[in-house]
């Protein structure tokens, strides 16, 4: 009988140590979310910069977004298989190394001043970021209870939004402000191309440093995500032999597609929208400053959402935010002046929790199919390349203001997913091995 208190103390001690390890891992992972948010948002600076350097039209300049989001489409599934084989921590290190190499490739691209080399470097960089997403998102999802998974992912994604808020200032100082009196041997265009060397070399060094750090960290090992049996056949889980067979995952992938598409569409057209004479009539340089409010709202919203979802089911919070975002876009479409301007900027606040919440809801109860499911969700990020293009077509036909009805449809689907589509099918939980 005397041994019971000792066993209880040991159990409590082990549980406490396990919690400390999970907390340490979560804190470490926030640096990754900050970095890829920072790098992704730099594209908004890179597009006008390279457009001016190489005298590109808008279609050619948008190849930057197509290369970046195209990497998600091409790399996500192979990344899912890679993470399944080598584990989450090694997957994170691999993603950091590839992203670091991609940043380093900006140096020869700038040196040669060839647009195609910039696109190639961007694709390599985005491939590394894709592997990071495939590994880090489900890892955060698994660091604790399923009930608080959305809250954890929203907390780490808040630091992703911090990166998107800070990046425009970084880019404006180190990329857009070409030093006066550049070397006489360089043309003005060449001097502008040279401006990307320093910032991307700094990013390369930071990513390489993180790769070394994460290779040394003793992070908790998440077990039980193998997808292949000893006889080489796929594991059947909840009656499914692959991730996409789970209804809530398939519907979640579509939700990620339309969400990223809506978010990128609004961001891409924001400067032009604020430049409309019936909205704010702002010059491009002045309108660009308001992007900070859009991304800053997303950052604040994620911190708020992380706390709210400790008390309220994630699906209901997602449905509420989708409703509010849709209403705000509708206000921006049918009104004018300051009302339309602040309505569209406020959408960022309600966008905030959508990506991490959809991601965590879609990965519920996937068991051994989790890493594959993460690959499908990251693949769906390609919506960021396709939906803005469709909105561009609508803008040419209907005008830029009416074209914003497309994101409203996207938010309508997200409302459905939060309230209905994210519910896990009630089937036997017996796993066949």
Token pair 């340089």 is found at: 285
Q: How far is CA 248 from the centre of its chain?
A: 20
Mean pLDDT of the chain: 79
User: Is residue 412 predicted with pLDDT exceeding 90?
Assistant: yes
User: Is residue 68 predicted with pLDDT exceeding 80?
Assistant: yes
User: Is residue 423 predicted with pLDDT exceeding 50?
Assistant: yes
User: Is residue 370 predicted with pLDDT exceeding 50?
Assistant: yes
CA dist 223 and 234 (Å) reads: 17
Query: What's the CA dihedral at 174, 346, 73, 396 to 10 degrees?
Result: -90
Tokens of 220: 């908790």
Confidence class for position 429, pLDDT limits 50, 70, 90: very low
* Mean pLDDT of the 58-87 span: 82
* Mean pLDDT of the 93-122 span: 91
Collapsing DSSP to helix, strand or coil, 121 comes out as: helix
Q: pLDDT tens digits for 387-406?
A: 887 888 788 888 889 989 99
CA dist 352 and 342 (Å) reads: 16
Closest CA relative to residue 153, chosen from 17, 342, 357: 357
CA dist 317 and 418 (Å) reads: 8
More confidently predicted of 140 and 362: 362
pLDDT of residue 13: 38
pLDDT of residue 181: 41
In this prediction the pTM is: 0.72
Question: Is beta strand 431-432 parallel, antiparallel or unpaired with respect to 236-237?
Answer: antiparallel
Tokens of 150: 């959305």
Contacts of 286 (CB under 8 A, 6+ apart): none
Collapsing DSSP to helix, strand or coil, 237 comes out as: strand
The DSSP secondary-structure symbol of 426 reads -
User: Is residue 2 predicted with pLDDT exceeding 60?
Assistant: no
pLDDT of residue 244: 73
* Mean pLDDT of the 344-352 span: 92
Q: pLDDT tens digits for 221-275?
A: 665 444 444 444 444 554 455 667 788 899 999 999 999 999 988 887 887 788 8
Using alpha carbons only, give the angle 62, 63, 66 rounded to the nearest 5 degrees: 100
Residue 39: C-alpha distances to residues 96, 204, 219, 262, 409 (Å): 12, 11, 25, 20, 29
Q: pLDDT tens digits for 35-62?
A: 878 888 777 777 777 877 888 776 677 7
pLDDT of residue 433: 39
Residues paired with residue 54 on neighbouring β-strands, in sequence order: none
Q: How far is CA 164 from the centre of its chain?
A: 10
User: Sign of the C-alpha dihedral, residues 144, 148, 154, 158?
Assistant: negative
Tokens of 115: 């647009």
Using alpha carbons only, give the angle 334, 339, 342 rounded to the nearest 5 degrees: 115
Closest CA relative to residue 288, chosen from 40, 45, 37: 45
Worst-scoring range by mean pLDDT, 196-200, 349-353, 364-368, 400-404? 364-368
Query: What's the CA dihedral at 46, 51, 56, 61 to 10 degrees?
Result: 30
Q: Find the helix packing angle between 63-86 and 88-104, rounded to 10°.
A: 150
User: Is residue 204 predicted with pLDDT exceeding 80?
Assistant: yes
pLDDT of residue 99: 93
Please provide the DSSP assignment of 299-337 as one string: HHHHHHHHHHTTTS-HHHHHHHHHHHHHHHHHHHHH--H
């Amino acid at each position: 009988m005397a041994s019971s208190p000792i066993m209880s103390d040991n159990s409590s001690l082990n549980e406490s140590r396990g919690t400390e390890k999970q907390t340490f891992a979560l804190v470490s992972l926030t640096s990754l979310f900050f970095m890829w948010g920072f790098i992704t948002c730099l594209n908004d600076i890179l597009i006008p910069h390279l457009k001016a350097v190489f005298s590109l039209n808008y279609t050619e300049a948008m190849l930057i977004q197509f290369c970046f989001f195209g990497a998600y489409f091409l790399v996500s599934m192979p990344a899912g298989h890679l993470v399944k084989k080598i584990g989450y921590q090694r997957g994170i290190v691999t993603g950091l190394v590839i992203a670091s190499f991609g940043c380093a490739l900006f140096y020869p691209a700038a040196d040669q001043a060839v647009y195609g080399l910039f696109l190639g470097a961007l694709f390599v960089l985005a491939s590394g970021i894709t592997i990071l997403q495939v590994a880090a998102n489900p890892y955060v999802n698994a660091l604790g209870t399923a009930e608080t998974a959305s809250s954890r992912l929203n907390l780490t994604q808040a630091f992703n939004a911090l990166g998107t808020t800070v990046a425009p200032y970084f880019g404006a100082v180190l990329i857009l402000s070409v030093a006066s009196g550049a070397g006489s041997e360089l043309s003005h265009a060449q001097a502008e191309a040279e401006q990307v060397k320093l910032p991307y070399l700094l990013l390369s060094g930071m990513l390489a440093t993180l790769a070394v750090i994460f290779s040394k960290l003793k992070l908790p090992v998440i077990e039980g995500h193998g997808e292949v049996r000893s006889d080489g056949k796929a594991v059947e889980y909840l009656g499914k032999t692959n991730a996409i067979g789970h209804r809530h995952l398939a519907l979640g992938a579509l939700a990620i597609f339309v969400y990223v598409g809506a978010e990128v569409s609004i961001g891409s057209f924001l400067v032009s929208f604020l430049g409309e004479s019936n909205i704010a009539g702002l010059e491009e340089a002045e309108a660009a400053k308001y992007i900070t409010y859009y991304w800053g709202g997303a950052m604040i919203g994620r911190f708020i959402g992380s706390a709210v979802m400790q008390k309220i089911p994630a699906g209901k919070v997602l449905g509420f935010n989708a409703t509010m975002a849709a209403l705000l876009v509708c206000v921006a479409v049918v009104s004018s002046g300051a009302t339309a301007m602040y309505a569209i900027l406020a959408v960022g606040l309600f966008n905030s929790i959508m990506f991490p919440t959809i991601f965590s809801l879609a990965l519920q109860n996937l068991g051994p199919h989790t890493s594959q499911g993460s690959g499908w969700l990251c693949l769906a990020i390609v919506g960021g390349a396709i939906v803005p293009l469709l909105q561009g077509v609508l803008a040419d036909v209907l005008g830029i203001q009416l074209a914003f009805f497309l994101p409203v449809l996207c938010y309508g689907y997200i409302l459905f997913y939060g309230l209905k589509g994210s519910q896990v099918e009630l089937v036997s939980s017996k796993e066949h091995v």
